[in-house]
């Protein structure tokens, strides 16, 4: 049974301008669900969009996987008045319904996890015609006539005694091809449900939603961490190895300034069998040359979605996130910082990064911050040594 993921993305949005590309914890909103889809049991993931910027981003940033295909979405199906079903059916016709199971994933639900996608797939494969994701809601509902809909107000139950109701959270909808062709709807026939955590009730439709979701997502990532012995150090470059400044001429980049003491600190770490890797959004020949001089061979240049690559590296190299220390300074490092065992930032990091980092160094970037981080790692790891 061939199962595919379907992620519709519009260039324009009514509530928040450029919502799908807006950065949530430093990465574009759509990347949160796209990465989970890639790591799920879906055989192929289709992004259906009218946005050339999204197409270019995916082509550049997800070259490490062959599971993603980007197809052009018509203007009609991307309008403010078009339904999601319009986009689904248009897409299905475009690929001639060449699937057995379609899983609609909404980018406005960044809490979606691969395990939940897989659970929905299993439910359909076990016999359901379609499946949707829900969340338990303990609110008391009323209609406009002042009538309670789901409880007796004369005998108000305690929250712990109230079973509540299941509400759609808009995250996951799966359907067989047969059911979809017959009903022309994302859910139909014998419908199953999968329950997702309470925080997934929030969808991003307004700026207030954005603020709430970002805080909840940060808390969820950080709650998963269980710091272990540090075996791997991942670093950004600009604002970590350097003070963030660069010399330019009319011909391009001329020079960056690096602190020689940082190189010695990294050499000491490698002697203690700690792997050192660099992930930077810049694609700089100067950086490549400096990393070669420092004998750092794991260098990933031009990376805009750092968490996606970090997760892929952990999967392919069998690395546990809890064994990683990450040193970053700006918002594009935030998702990685919130996900690893130890998050570290220099003294002159952005305030958003300082707020979520475990270790705030006293040294500035380019002035001994890496060397100070290396000392911390060496000292921290001593607690795991046998005497």
Of the pLDDT bands very low, low, confident and very high (cuts 50, 70, 90), residue 259 is: confident
Region 65-72 average pLDDT: 97
- 197 and 242 part of one domain: no
Averaged over 58-74, what is the pLDDT?
A: 96
CATH number at 148 reads: 3.90.550.10
What are the tens digits of pLDDT across the range 293-339?
999 999 999 999 999 999 999 999 999 999 999 999 999 999 999 99
Q: Are 261 and 152 in the same domain?
A: no
> What distance in Å separates the CA atoms of residue 116 and residue 174, rounded to the nearest whole number?
11
pLDDT in tens, 210-220: 999 999 999 99
Q: Report helix, strand or coil for 20.
A: helix
Mean model confidence pLDDT for the chain: 93
pLDDT of residue 257: 82
Confidence of residue 253 (pLDDT cuts 50, 70, 90): low
- Kindly state whether residues 183 and 239 are assigned to the same domain: no
Same domain (yes/no): 308, 215 = no
Pair 280, 215 in one domain: no
Cα distance between residue 347 and residue 313, in whole Å: 28
Burial (CB count <10 Å: 0-12, 13-18, 19+), residue 195: middle
The share of the chain scoring above pLDDT 70, in percent, equals: 99
Asked if 193 and 265 sit in the same domain, the reply is no
Q: Is the pLDDT of residue 77 over 80?
A: yes
Please choose, from the candidates 169, 137, 170, 133, the residue with its C-alpha nearest in 3D space to the C-alpha of residue 151. 137
User: Are 125 and 252 contained in the same domain?
Assistant: no
The answer, as to whether pTM is greater than 0.75, is yes
- Span 95-134, pLDDT tens digits: 999 999 999 999 999 999 999 999 999 999 999 999 999 9
| Host domain of residue 102 | 3-223
Could you tell me what percent of the chain has a pLDDT over 90? 79
Residue range 341-350: average pLDDT?
97
Answer yes or no: do 211 and 81 share one domain. Answer: yes
Residues 196 and 295 reside in one and the same domain: no
Residue 138: its pLDDT value, please?
A: 86
Residue-level pLDDT at 14: 74
386: pLDDT strictly greater than 90 = no
Say if CB 372 and CB 363 are below 8 A apart. Answer: yes
Query: For 160, left (φ over 0), alpha (ψ -120 to 50), or beta?
Result: alpha
* 147 and 50 assigned to the same domain: yes
**What local confidence, expressed as pLDDT, does residue 31 receive?**
98
- The CATH number of the domain holding residue 272 is 3.40.50.1000
219 and 339 co-located in one domain: no
Final residue before a domain boundary, out of 190, 223, 256: 223
Number of domains observed in the structure of the chain: 2
> Quick one: pLDDT at residue 344?
98
Alpha helices (H) along 151-299: 177-183, 207-223, 260-271, 285-293
- Final residue before a domain boundary, out of 191, 223, 255: 223
181, 197, 223 - which closes a domain: 223
b (16+ CB within 10 A) / e for 38-58: bbbbbebbbbbbbbeebbebb
Q: Are residues 129 and 237 in the same domain?
A: no
């Amino acid at each position: 049974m061939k199962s595919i993921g379907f992620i519709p993305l519009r260039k324009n949005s009514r509530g928040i301008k450029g919502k799908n590309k807006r950065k949530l914890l430093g990465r574009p909103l759509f990347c949160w669900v796209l990465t989970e889809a890639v790591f799920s049991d879906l055989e192929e993931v289709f992004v259906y969009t009218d946005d050339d910027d999204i197409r270019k981003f995916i082509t550049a940033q997800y070259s490490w996987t062959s599971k993603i295909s980007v197809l052009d979405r018509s203007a009609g199906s991307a309008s403010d008045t078009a339904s999601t079903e319009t986009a689904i059916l248009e897409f299905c016709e475009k690929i001639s319904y060449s699937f057995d199971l379609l899983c609609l994933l909404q980018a406005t639900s960044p809490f979606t996890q691969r395990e939940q996608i897989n659970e929905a797939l299993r439910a359909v494969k076990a016999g359901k015609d379609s499946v949707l994701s829900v969340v338990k809601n303990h609110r008391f509902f009323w209609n406009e006539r002042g009538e309670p809909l789901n409880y007796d107000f004369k005998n108000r139950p305690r929250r712990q005694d109230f079973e509540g109701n299941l509400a759609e959270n808009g995250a996951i909808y799966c359907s067989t091809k047969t059911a979809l062709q017959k009903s022309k709807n994302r859910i139909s026939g014998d419908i199953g449900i999968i329950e997702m955590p309470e925080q997934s009730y929030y969808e991003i439709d307004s700026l207030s939603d954005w603020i709430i979701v970002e805080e909840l997502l940060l808390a969820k990532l950080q709650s998963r961490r269980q710091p272990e012995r540090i075996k791997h150090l991942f670093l950004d470059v600009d604002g970590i190895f350097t003070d963030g400044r660069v010399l330019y001429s009319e011909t391009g980049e001329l020079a960056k300034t690096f602190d020689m003491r940082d190189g010695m600190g990294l050499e000491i770490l490698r002697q203690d069998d700690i792997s050192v890797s660099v992930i930077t959004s810049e694609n700089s020949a100067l950086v490549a040359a400096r990393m070669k001089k420092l004998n750092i061979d794991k260098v990933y240049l031009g990376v805009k979605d750092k968490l996606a690559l970090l997760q892929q590296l952990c999967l392919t190299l069998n690395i546990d996130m809890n064994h990683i220390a990450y040193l970053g300074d700006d918002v594009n490092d935030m998702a990685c910082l919130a996900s690893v065992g130890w998050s570290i930032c220099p003294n002159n990091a952005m305030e958003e990064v300082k707020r979520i980092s475990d270790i705030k160094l006293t040294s500035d970037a380019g002035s001994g911050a890496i060397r100070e981080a290396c000392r911390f790692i060496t000292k921290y790891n001593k607690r795991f040594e046998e005497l």
